[in-house]
Amino acid sequence: MEATLVIFSGGQDSTTCLLQAIAERGAENIHTVTFAYGQRHKLEVELAEGLAKELGVASHKTIAVDWYKDITHNALMDTVTPIGRTAGATCPNTFVDGRNALFLLTAAIYAKGLGIHDLTIGVSEADYSGYPDCREAFVKSMEQTLRLAMDWPFRVLAPLQHLTKAQEWALADRLGRLDFVRTRTLTCYEGIPGDGCGTCPACKLRAAGLAEYLGSRGRA
Ligand code: ZN
């Protein structure tokens, strides 16, 4: 079975990707990488490391990109800016310029060293707030760029690309991991795992998707 390197933050999306990859390929073929880039909550990095270990992946690596916050500003990395949407902006101020490009490039360099072709990333354009690097066009373009950059047959897999949050919960449920994703992952901007603070935009999006999925399951 071909190995894959999963870009893993410990949030709902990347955890669902990781669980699906483990189900399809076996944990022994799964490697994870977590980026420590000056998140508001260092807990996120520790949580990701703990989950990766618990799920028995073949290897886990945390890569520090702690210089990132020195060259760009956004509400996800600095500790004073309130999270929200600046008037007239096309996406919320939690958008981190270049993040998925940086993560994919760095992960690809690491993957090639491990002899791995596949990179798995939990981006989705369905429910997101206009983040440009969650669009399929970006993912396809990045795959081509990485192949050209390193002369290596990378594949960038984004299995959540066209899933809504409700469909993501359905996927976790099909994997038998709904409760795991619900209680163990961290999506909340306030750094509270599981159902989180309940009031930040990330918690609201997550809860709305879960309610929609549970509602549809109840009707089925
Ligand atoms: Zn929250």
In this prediction, residues 200-211 reach a mean pLDDT of: 93
**Number of helical H runs and strand E runs in the chain:** 8, 5
Helix (H, G, I), strand (E, B) or coil at 119: strand
- Give me the number of domains the chain comprises: 1
In this structure, the number of other CB atoms found within 10 A of the CB of residue 213 comes to: 21
Distance 81 CA to ligand 1 centre (A): 15
Distance 192 CA to ligand 1 centre (A): 7
pLDDT at 131: 84
In a domain, 113, yes or no: yes
In a domain, 215, yes or no: no
Q: What is the span of the domain harbouring residue 110? A: 4-165
In this prediction, residues 55-79 reach a mean pLDDT of: 84
What is the DSSP track for 2-27? --EEEE--SSHHHHHHHHHHHHHH-G
User: How many angstroms from the chain centroid is the CA of residue 19?
Assistant: 12
CA-CA distance, 189 to 191, in Å (whole number)? 5
In a domain, 55, yes or no: yes
Helix (H, G, I), strand (E, B) or coil at 213: helix
Distance 184 CA to ligand 1 centre (A): 14
Sign for the pseudo-dihedral over CA of 177, 178, 180, 186:
positive
Distance 77 CA to ligand 1 centre (A): 15
Nearest to 30 by CA among 61, 51, 6, 13: 6
CA-CA distance, 101 to 171, in Å (whole number)? 26
Average pLDDT of the chain is 90
In a domain, 86, yes or no: yes
Task: Give the model's confidence band at 219: pLDDT under 50 very low, under 70 low, under 90 confident, else very high.
Answer: confident
pLDDT at 169: 97
Q: What share of the chain is helix, strand, coil (3-state, %, to 5)?
A: 45, 10, 45
In this structure, the number of other CB atoms found within 10 A of the CB of residue 25 comes to: 16
Distance 49 CA to ligand 1 centre (A): 21
CA-CA distance, 138 to 144, in Å (whole number)? 10
Distance 199 CA to ligand 1 centre (A): 5
CATH of the domain at 92: 3.40.50.620
Give the pairing type, strands 30-36 and 59-64: parallel
CA-CA distance, 54 to 210, in Å (whole number)? 24
Distance 208 CA to ligand 1 centre (A): 13
pLDDT score of 197 more than 70:
yes
In a domain, 151, yes or no: yes
Nearest to 107 by CA among 123, 126, 129: 123
pLDDT digits (tens, 9 = 90+) for 123-148: 998 766 678 898 999 999 999 999 99
In a domain, 179, yes or no: no
pLDDT at 130: 74
pLDDT digits (tens, 9 = 90+) for 68-114: 888 887 656 655 555 555 555 555 666 678 999 999 999 999 999 99
In a domain, 216, yes or no: no
Distance 122 CA to ligand 1 centre (A): 19
Enter the pTM of the model.
0.91
In a domain, 178, yes or no: no
